[in-house]
Amino acid sequence: GESVGLHLPTLSVQEGDNSIINCAYSNSASDYFIWYKQESGKGPQFIIDIRSNMDKRQGQRVTVLLNKTVKHLSLQIAATQPGDSAVYFCAENMENTGFQKLVFGTGTRLLVSP
């Protein structure tokens, strides 16, 4: 069935460190993955996405890695800042559905200490 899960519920880092947030998915048919950031009291905010025909995609200070062999997704944040503190969700969507239906993981809370 569809399920997206996260390995760690909370990640604490020091400002300036690199952060790595992991996500496992179980649906091998999933072919599009998105990372969202959710700050307290706000809705999920799109960070970066990746298609299944890629294994890496880079954005501004963020990199997403996809390992389809082990069905694993990670978000790397370079030079983590206090403003990066939030809950991070991975989500998946299947191409063969007519419309989007995002399936979210449980979320990882990132705490950045100054």
Partner 1 sequence: EPEVTQTPSHQVTQMGQEVILRCVPISNHLYFYWYRQILGQKVEFLVSFYNNEISEKSEIFDDQFSVERPDGSNFTLKIRSTKLEDSAMYFCATAYSGGARETQYFGPGTRLLVL
Residue number with CB closer to partner 1 (87 or 112): 87
Q: Does 111 bind partner 1 (CB under 8 A)?
A: no
Shortest distance, position 7 Cβ to partner 1, whole Å: 14
* Residue 25 makes contact with partner 1 by CB under 8 A: no
Give the start-end residues of each E strand in 60-102: 62-67, 72-77, 86-93
Here the tokens at position 50 are: 């990746």
Identify each DSSP E strand in 8-77 by its residue range.
Answer: 10-14, 19-25, 32-38, 45-51, 56-58, 62-67, 72-77
Q: 103 near 3, Cβ under 8 Å?
A: yes
Candidate ranges 21-29, 46-54, 58-66, 67-75; the one touching partner 1 (CB under 8 A): 46-54
Binding flag, residue 103, partner 1 (CB under 8 A)? yes
**Binding site residues, partner 1, CB under 8 A:** 31-32, 34, 36, 41-46, 49, 51, 89, 91, 93-107
